[in-house]
A and B are shown apart, each in its own frame.
Chain A
């Protein structure tokens, strides 16, 4: 499986979050909380997880999705 750099994943998540939730990609930084900072609801998180799977080839199971609170959490999950 191809590995992705942190910058690649961040840029990819920015595109996904812009598309799914209308948050401009430049506001998607590693320290941001999905709920508190980016105002992303639980159904949008499901869309983001599925889109991230398509983009990075890493499945995020539902029971782990709820623990991914920040953009950095997702980057770390995809890299590991």
Chain B
């Protein structure tokens, strides 16, 4: 049975590194960190006083009346989706053949917390009537579907930090199923708030390197001490190859396939053997009809936590086998962006796609001493060229709850 080929024709992002894809990508190649100290009073009582705040506030791009009825996750989504749509050449598509798959890991948590403050201080009548559509976890996908008139379906997979990789996987499936020709797919997060920093800090999941925020996100480094919370969004325009060819669209990459698994090992800790992660990688290869040797590059989930990063390299080796694993170039762009949680998979898929498209793999910054447990080749110090013969690359995203997603992109 032949499978509908799905291609990527548009990219959009708003991240701690820049308000669009071009500035984000150039910062990744320059090795620039988007992390900074939060200069607000509320950080005083917290063990973590830095984060990756979006480089461009949504208020610079959306009108005031829209800001007040959209959660920050929705604001980021719309900004990134508009960029991706323009980048794709604003495809002419029947609304019933246009879908959306947009996720957030947490949802409208800033709305929940801010409206709860309003409720306690001023009573129920002052609670915004838009509170529910702002806080619901499908709020971002609903906002995107409404904005672009996407009537084929609107899906919001929720799998913590794997959410937006799962959204992209769902977007591929939506097109393959024959229900849509074009899908806007990606994810978003906006959770920088004292309670959320306190909650992740209470798990001992965050770096506390307050004296060196830009050096705090250090995946694969022996002295890493946790991840850095960031915010923003990434969006892709996925399209059936046939639809893209008919309108002469520029194709960045083939969204060749996706793999899913669940560790069912621990609610938050990854399986140290990497078994579930390896299954997701193998599942993605099978779905994409690729061989381990086709994978030239992996954009790793690697968040800079002591447990996660090393286990992921074990999983890569387990899945690809020694010969292929020896020649794969692995990087973690979270060293520069921090961890966008539910937005991470989408922003990192964009980095993976652009690595294939431009033939340049961004380096992982802040590695002073490589963890001896790392069993793959990590790109360090400067970007590495991807050979002309390189076939494909993987984006990996894992989430609390044991969710493992791998998405395979192939050169067109």
Chain A residues with a Cβ under 8 A of chain B? 18-22, 43-44, 46-47, 50
CB distance from A46 to the nearest CB of B (A): 4
| Interface size class, chain B | 10 to 19
CB distance from B141 to the nearest CB of A (A): 19
Interchain CB contact under 8 A, B64 and A50: no
Question: Is B128 part of the binding interface, using a Cβ–Cβ cutoff of 8 Å?
Answer: yes
Interchain CB contact under 8 A, A46 and B129: yes
How distant is the Cα of A20 from the Cα of B130 in the complex, in angstroms?
Answer: 11
Chain B residues near A18 (CB-CB < 8 A)? 65
Interchain CB contact under 8 A, A21 and B65: yes
- Chain B 111-153 per-residue mask, 1 if CB under 8 angstroms from chain A, else 0: 0000000000000011011100000000000000000000000
- Chain A residue with the shortest CB-CB distance to B127: A50
Chain A residues near B69 (CB-CB < 8 A)? 43-44
Q: List 22 A-B contacts (CB under 8 A).
A: A18-B65, A19-B64, A19-B65, A19-B68, A20-B65, A20-B68, A21-B65, A22-B63, A22-B64, A22-B65, A22-B66, A43-B69, A43-B129, A43-B130, A44-B69, A44-B129, A46-B129, A47-B128, A47-B129, A47-B130, A50-B125, A50-B126
**Given A43-B130, A50-B125, A50-B126, 6 extra CB contacts under 8 A:** A18-B65, A19-B65, A20-B68, A22-B64, A47-B128, A47-B129
Residue pairs across A and B with CB atoms within 8 Å: the count is 22
Chain B residues near A22 (CB-CB < 8 A)? 63-66
CB distance from B74 to the nearest CB of A (A): 15
- Chain B residue with the shortest CB-CB distance to A22: B65
Chain B interface SS verdict (over half): loop
Chain A residues near B128 (CB-CB < 8 A)? 47
Chain B residues near A43 (CB-CB < 8 A)? 69, 129-130
How distant is the Cα of A18 from the Cα of B125 in the complex, in angstroms?
Answer: 21
Chain B residues near A47 (CB-CB < 8 A)? 128-130
CB distance from B65 to the nearest CB of A (A): 3
How distant is the Cα of A9 from the Cα of B65 in the complex, in angstroms?
Answer: 21
How distant is the Cα of A79 from the Cα of B219 in the complex, in angstroms?
Answer: 65
- Chain A residue with the shortest CB-CB distance to B65: A22
For the complex of A and B, list the 4 residue pairs with the smallest distance between their C-beta atoms, beginning with the closest.
A22-B65, A43-B129, A46-B129, A22-B63
Chain A residues near B126 (CB-CB < 8 A)? 50
How distant is the Cα of A50 from the Cα of B125 in the complex, in angstroms?
Answer: 7
CB distance from B321 to the nearest CB of A (A): 56
How distant is the Cα of A20 from the Cα of B63 in the complex, in angstroms?
Answer: 11
How distant is the Cα of A44 from the Cα of B130 in the complex, in angstroms?
Answer: 8
How distant is the Cα of A18 from the Cα of B66 in the complex, in angstroms?
Answer: 11
